[in-house]
Every structure is written in C-alpha cells, then in structure tokens.
Amino acid sequence: MAVGIFDSGLGGLTVMNAVQARLPDVAFTYLGDNAHAPYGVRDMDDVYELTRAGVARLWEDGCNLVVLACNTASAAALRRMQEAGVPEGKRVLGVFVPMIEALTERRWGDNSPPRQVSVQHVALFATPATVRSRAFQRELAFRAIGVDVETQACGGVVDAIEEGDMILAEALVRSHVDALKRKMPNPQAAVLGCTHYPLIEAAFQDALGPDVKLYSQANLVADSLADYLARHPDMVGEGQGLRHLTTGDPARVSDRATQFLRRAVTFQAA
C-alpha cells in the first residue's frame, strides 16, 4: 500500500522529491493529470471533478492516503471531498495547512483560537483559480488575526513551466512581483502558493529582494506528512519505492520531468 501524491501536472514533483527524501522507507505513487493541466485557469467545479477522479484512481490503486500536491486542487476540492465523505479507511490531505502553520508559528494540531503573529504583511503568489477561491485567507483566519494578505494571480507561469520555457517563466515572475509590489510595496513574507513555483524559486527571491522571507511548500509538507504518518501508522503499507503515473503522454511527460529534476524520471500511463 503506497501513499498517493496527486497533482495537476509536474509541479507536485517538488513535493514528491521532498517527501521521498524525508520518508525513504515509505512507498509512494505519484499521479500527474498532465492531460488536463494546468488547473489554475479552470473553474472550481471543473477542478473539483478532475481532482475527485484523480484521487479515486489512486484509491483504486491501493493508496489509502492521498496528498493533493496542488494548491488549486486543494483550494477547489479538498473541503468538498471531505464534506461529501470519503470511503471508509481512506484519507485525503492538502498542502495549504502545513504552510500556514509555519507562517503563523503554530505546531501541528494546535487548535487554539487565532492570535497575533509576527508577520503582518504577506504576499501570496498563486494560480488565478487559487486566488479566486480565497482558501488561503480562509485557512489563515482560523489561526491568525491582523494579517494583511495581498494576492497576485500569476497567469502564464505554470503553462511556461509545463512547456519547459523557463526564460518565459522567469520573465513572468518578475512582471507578477512588480504588480504585487505596486499593491504592497514592502511585504514581510511571500508565499509561493503553487507547487510549480519552487522550480523557479530563485527568480521569485531575486525579484522580491533578500529581506522578504519566502515560504515554499515542499519541505513543510514533507515534515507534516511525516508527523501525520507517525500518528497514523495504519496509513503506511509495506514496501518501498516510487511509481510515476500520468494521464498525459508518458514519453513527453518523462522528458519534461527529467529536465526539471535533472535526473531520469519515467512515467507510465495511468
């Protein structure tokens, strides 16, 4: 029984890398819905249906626990799936909460009332769909008060990354950071609210400047998953290793993944 990692495309590989390094004795199955990427420009109902289908595919494959390594999927589908009910013995988790817990200086499972935190001015860079959902602000409000959040929908960035055009992606990052700074000239922290963005994290940091603390998700999610599995050992099956599945063309997706991760990655048809 493997732990499933679901993403709209290639961005979740940043999370996959981190969780496998953190949990080398756990078996993982990664599913990228590359045939329908990017999710960030789709409407919420469409993202929900695609995410639900992807998670069901991983459940059918024997993954009792599935992590949505996609902010857009987490924003559009996680709460709806949990409220609708998941099959007995199955679980689905998202990527927002670990990052917000780090931002608000909370330990895992701290359910105390929201309180003042040291970071008061936060920039959120995310896909258009994630920004529209306001899921980040909703989850933040459960844990902190008085935090000013300015959002910037980063149209085109995921498309450029998925196409392997990193020059265009970096140029778009600079443009989006400039637009954010016109609304919030001096953010204290910046949240990369898309798992594709760590692939161009250096471009965000360079455009924001060294005084802005950057919150990226991969290692935070890996630490939170390790904590969750320690508390729920029944979610960890036997075996090791990693499988990569895709709804897209396996050869093309393998080439892109190998380019991004700078090591050989082989995808199979889902």
Contact by Cβ (8 Å): 260, 200: no
Q: Are strands 121-126 and 28-32 parallel, antiparallel or unpaired?
A: unpaired
Spell out a b/e string for 47-69, using b for 16 or more CB atoms within 10 Å of the CB, else e: bbebbbebbebbbebebbbbbbb
3-state secondary structure of 261: helix
Rg (CA), the chain: 18
In the set 65, 194, 200, 203, the catalytic residue is 194
Residues 6+ apart with CB under 8 A from 254: 244, 265, 266, 267
Give burial (CB, 10 Å; 0-12/13-18/19+) of 141.
Answer: middle
Q: Where on the phi/psi map is residue 146: left (φ > 0), alpha (ψ -120 to 50), or beta?
A: left
194 is catalytic: yes
In the set 16, 55, 70, 172, the catalytic residue is 70
Cα distance between the two ends of the chain? 17
Contact by Cβ (8 Å): 158, 180: no
Positions marked active-site = 70, 194
